Chain A
Amino acid sequence: MNYIIHLIIMIAIYLILTLGLNLVVGFGGLLSICQAVFYGIGAYATTLLMMKVGVGFMAAVLLSVLITGIFALAIGIPALKFRGDPFVLVTLGFQAIVFTILYNWVELTRGPYGIPGIPRPSIAGYEVTELPEYLILTSLFAGVIIIFLVIIYRSPFGLALKALRDDEMAAEGLGKPPFYLFLGAFVISGMVASVAGSLYATYVTYIDPTSFTLDESIFLLVILLVGGTGNLKGPVVGTVFLILLPEALRFLGLPDTIAPNVRQILYGLIIVAFMFLRPRGIAGEFKLR
C-alpha cells in the first residue's frame, strides 16, 4: 500500500513539473531543456530557507517560488532572444551552469554530499509525517496548481502563445509581443516547477544535485513527447504512463543479473516506438518540431 501511495505522490509532483513545462513546450512550441534547474532551485531554496533561516514550510514554498521566478527571468531573457535549435542549446547551457553550481558550491549546498534531514512540512502547527498525510498535502498542492494552469491554458494568454507557436510572424502582425509572452510562460513554468521542488525536498527529506540533472530535464520532455502537449490530457497521460512504466517493467520476472539493463532497453524502445506510432503523443494536440 505504501508503495502505491509513494507512486501517487511522485505522479503528483511530476504532474506539476510537466504541466508547467507544457506551457513553454506545448503552448509556446519552445523546446526548453532546463526545467530541472527550476525544480532544483525550488528544492534547494526551500531546504535552505527551512534549515538555515528557519522559516516555516508555507513561507519557504512561497519565497522559493519568488526566488525561482527571478532565476527564470534571468535565464529567460537571454534564452528567448533565440528560437528553435539555438534556444534548445542556450537552455542546455543554463542547465549545465546551474548543475555545476549546485554541485560545487559546497559551503551552501554541501555539493555531492547532498543535504539530509530536511524537516517535514508543518502547516499551521500540524506536522505532516505519515505517508497518507503527505499524499493529501501533495494532492492539494497539485490540485491548486493544475487549476491555476488550466485557467492559464484557456486564457487569452494561452491562446496567444499557441498563435505564436503556430506562426510567430502572423501572431506578431496581430499585435502579440513574442518576447514578453514567451517570457511570461517561461517564468510561470519555472515558478510552478519550484513548488514541485519544495514538495520533493520535504517528502524525500534528502536532496543532492543528481536529482536535478540534464537527464531529469530530458525525462520531463520525454513525458511530454510521449503523452502529448498543448492541452491538459497529454501531460497527464504521459506522466502517469512514464512514472508507472519502469515500475511495471519490474514485474517482468527477468533474471536479476540482466534485469536493470533489459528494463532500460525496453524503456528506450517503447519511447522510440511512440515517436513512430504517435508523433503527437498519446493525447497531444501539437506535434513537436
Chain B
Amino acid sequence: MVGLKIKNLSKTLLGMEIIRKVTATFLPGRITALVGPNGAGKTTIFNLICGYLTPDNGAVFYDDEDITGLQPYQVARKGIGRLFQDVRIFEGMTVLENVVTACMPYASESPLFPFMRPLRLSRLYKHARERSCYWLEFVGLYAKKDYPASELSFGQQKLLAIARLLSKGFRVMLLDEPASGLSPIATKKVMATLERIVSEDRDKTIVVVEHNMKVVTEMADWVYFMNEGQVAFFGRTDHVLGAREVREMYLGF
C-alpha cells in the first residue's frame, strides 16, 4: 500500500507512556491533520516517524517498506520531510543559502565531489540557486534573499523553513504547526500552497499538526484526534470536529 502508515506505535519517556498503540494511515493526495490537546503526543508521533525517537513497540511503514529505527537523515532521504514547531533555520547563513543547502543533491555533499566533478558542481549550484529563488519568490521572501536568516521575523523564518522543505521536493511532508506565528495573509498563502501541492501532485502526502481550527477545517481532508497518547477519533474533518466529545475535550464548548 502506498503512503505512510504507523502501526501499534508505543513510546515511554521518563516513565510516562507518551504514545499508546497508535495506528494511523496517511494517504497520498490528501492533507491529514493530527489534532488534540497539548501533550497528546502529536509531535512525538512525528519524532517517531522521522527517527528522532525510536519506538518501544510498533513500526513505521512507508510504501510498505519498514522504516522503523532508521536514522533521521535516512528517513529524509526516503522522501519524508519535516517542518519543526520551533522553525530551526540555519542562522549563520543567508536566506538564499538556507534553501540552496536544502536542495543540493546528497551525492554532491561528498568532500571529494568538487574535485572530481567541478563542472557538474557549478551546474548543480546554478540549478539549486534558480530553484531556491523560485521557492523564495513563492513564499514572498525573494526580496530578502541576501539577508542573514537570523534577521528575519519569526513568521518569515517559518516561511523560509517551508520554502526549504518545498524546494527539496519531499513526497511526504510532516508539518508541525505550520500556521502558528504567521499573519492571516501568510497563513492563507501557506494553506493555499499546501492545497495546491496536494491537488497538483496526487503523489504527495501531507500531515499537519495544527491548533488553529480554522486552518484544520479549511485544509484537512481527514483528522486524527489524539488524547493522552491515543487516537480517540478518526474520520472526515467535519465529522470529527463536530463530535460532541471532541468539542468538550478539546475545543471547550
State the A residues within 8 Å of B (CB).
151-152, 154-157, 159-160, 162-163, 165-167, 169-178, 181, 184-185, 188, 230, 285-286
Contacts and interface: CB of A to CB of B under 8 A. Distances in A.
29 contacts: A152-B114, A155-B113, A156-B101, A156-B113, A157-B109, A159-B97, A162-B90, A163-B90, A166-B90, A166-B91, A166-B92, A167-B88, A167-B89, A170-B84, A172-B76, A173-B73, A173-B81, A173-B84, A174-B164, A174-B168, A175-B76, A175-B106, A176-B109, A177-B71, A178-B73, A184-B111, A185-B111, A188-B111, A230-B92
Contacts, number: 96
B160 to A, nearest CB: 11
Given A160-B109, A177-B73, A151 B89 contact: no
Interface string B93-119: 100010011101010111101110000
B97 A285 contact: no
A151 B89 CA distance: 25
A19 to B, nearest CB: 15
In order of increasing CB-CB distance, the 3 nearest A-B pairs are: A170-B88, A166-B90, A175-B76
A286 B84 CA distance: 23
A163 B90 CA distance: 6
Contacts of B114: 151-152, 154-157
Nearest to B98: A163
A156 B81 contact: no
Contact of A174 (B76, B91, B111): B76
B72 A172 contact: yes
A154 B108 CA distance: 12
A151 B91 contact: no
Contact of A172 (B73, B89, B124): B73
Nearest to B103: A174
B145 interface: no
| Chain A residues touching B, majority SS | helix
A134 to B, nearest CB: 28
Interface in B66-89: 71-74, 76-77, 81-82, 84, 88-89
| Chain B residues touching A, majority SS | helix
A174 B88 contact: no
Given A159-B104, A169-B52, A188-B111, A286 B92 contact: yes
B215 interface: no
Contacts of B97: 159, 162
Contacts of B190: none
Contacts of A170: 84, 88-90, 161
Contacts of A185: 111
Given A178-B73, A285-B92, A286-B92, A160 B81 contact: no
A286 B150 CA distance: 12
A61 B161 CA distance: 45
Contact of B102 (A154, A162, A172, A174): A174
A163 B97 CA distance: 10
A162 B106 CA distance: 15
A156 B109 CA distance: 5
Given A156-B113, A157-B113, A162-B90, 4 more contacts: A167-B90, A167-B91, A175-B106, A184-B110
Given A151-B115, A170-B84, A173-B84, A162 B93 contact: yes
Nearest to B78: A175
B121 A155 contact: yes
Contacts of B73: 172-173, 175-178
Contacts of A174: 76, 81, 101-102, 164, 168
B206 to A, nearest CB: 16
Nearest to A185: B111
B174 to A, nearest CB: 9
Contacts of A171: 90, 101
Nearest to A230: B92
Contacts of A157: 109-111, 113-114
Interface in B49-71: 50, 52, 71
